[in-house]
Structure 1
């Protein structure tokens, strides 16, 4: 059975404590459990104080069949940042701006470019999602049509080839949309005449939405998920609504991270679970111990 672990973001110390709390022991250079496997939902780099050690722990576990790991948007951003053209330039100015977020990770690998390139190659081998014996794991959003498109594009081979990344990075096609929604979620665009400011005075023209629910009949506030700014409490105009099917009540439990949940339950619905508990913002590191149940159980969360 599986222990699904939320966004770690370089908090290697907390990760070791959590693994030990769940009965994992370190031997031969990696953590393992006699009867269970860990599953990491992505976003293990950036922000925290021990990024290199975090990568080492997760990679050693995956390479020794003690864990699975998928890509988060932070790992995906690292892949695009390191993707250069024949002249050694970023394939788009958009990717050169990722340097600020990646600074903590790049700083830990400073002076050892070869080691960093090795980690990039490993990250490219990780999948964007997993289907494991009755559960689903994705970093930000599970939409059946998106998953179908990604399966077709990558032919069941999770390794992201440079050619595929360049195609996604340069184009706004259907595949690119499926790729970004899977690892970054579905952002809902605000009307052009509506501008929202957060507490720091930064303007926002979109917000993270509850992709597992239909937006029809909801207010902006009801549709938002873990937004760091207040949204209007009136109903979203019908002309702005793009219909989508809610996540089915009879579908397998889907586990994801990405959304910084400082407050509230990680159990969103009986089969929808967000495991990102804001570890990078003085929050907690959360896991769920799944043992075959079809509905989430509150007692199976570990922090």
Structure 2
């Protein structure tokens, strides 16, 4: 999928249901509310690297804001692992109609509790939000920049290609295949949306879950030969955010109480850490 961006791109990291912070950030970046959508008077576009939901108290508000921007042509968005998970949590498995594509285990219920509560409280709005999330591409490849939620991996993209539509979004059948916990398609989806992991000493994460695998800082390897900057979210980096070669994480840890972050990108200038913009802490 190619999208033309004429006037610059404001690349926004994980939002996780924090609508007030998103509005504050968009305002700080110069966007104004016009006919129900945030637009930039200079023609800039916002690009969201995924994980719109789970964490804050206004998840459907976030989805509505981003959806309106995409429809208005002032925004782009890709799928994050939490976005994928909430769709799978609500979608029946056609091979096992009594089951969902994501199990309703205690852990999974806990992870999406607030988002699901909002969906249950307003099913029509919730269905609209789920349909929008399901329509998002797994990555964006633009002439001057690349965006993925967790990890840019060409082999995984090739494995997913037969299961995508022309916008790089999963087809309905592809969504079923991608939700599998094993197999090439599910593994490829997991690598793009959750990143590579490696075995580690057992520990309890911040949610009290027992872990034996941990995330790998793949961007430190410096083996990406594509000259275009690669922007990603997912990793909840401490601020101030850093640039590693042409790899730029825009997730400043809003899900952990940190700020929401954006990078003001202009293809005519070099990457610079002075281009990061932050807003507040999660509420």
Task: Give TM-score, length-normalised by structure 1.
Answer: 0.81
Counting only pairs closer than 5 Å after superposition, residues 87-106 of structure 1 correspond to structure 2 as: 88-91=97-100, 95-97=103-105, 98-106=108-116
Using CA pairs below 8 Å that are at least 6 residues apart, which structure has the higher relative contact order? 2
Asked whether 1:256 is paired with 2:232, we answer yes
The alignment's C-alpha RMSD in Å is: 2.2
1:200–1:99 CA distance, 2 compared to 1 (3 A): closer
CA distance in 2 between counterparts of 1:185 and 1:276 reads 14
Asked whether 1:133 is paired with 2:140, we answer no
- Contact 2:12–2:48 at 8 Å: present in 1 too? yes
Structure 2 residue aligned with 1:47: 55
Structure 1 residue aligned with 2:4: none
Asked whether 1:183 is paired with 2:159, we answer no
CA distance in 1 between counterparts of 2:48 and 2:145 reads 13
1:201–1:83 CA distance, 2 compared to 1 (3 A): closer
Task: Give TM-score, length-normalised by structure 2.
Answer: 0.86
Larger radius of gyration: 1
Structure with the larger strand share:
2
Q: For 1:72, which of 51, 62, 80 is the aligned residue?
A: 80
Structure 2 residue aligned with 1:82: 90
Structure 1 residue aligned with 2:43: 35
1:199–1:99 CA distance, 2 compared to 1 (3 A): closer
CA distance in 1 between counterparts of 2:207 and 2:83 reads 27
3-state DSSP of counterpart to 2:133: helix
1:200–1:6 CA distance, 2 compared to 1 (3 A): closer
* 1:116 positional shift: 1.2
Which runs of 5 or more residues in structure 2 are unaligned?
A: 1-7, 279-283
CA distance in 1 between counterparts of 2:173 and 2:196 reads 25
3-state DSSP of counterpart to 2:236: coil
Q: Deviations over 1:230-269 (max 9, x none)?
A: xxxxxxxxxxxxxxx8223x531111110111x2542231
3-state DSSP of counterpart to 2:260: coil
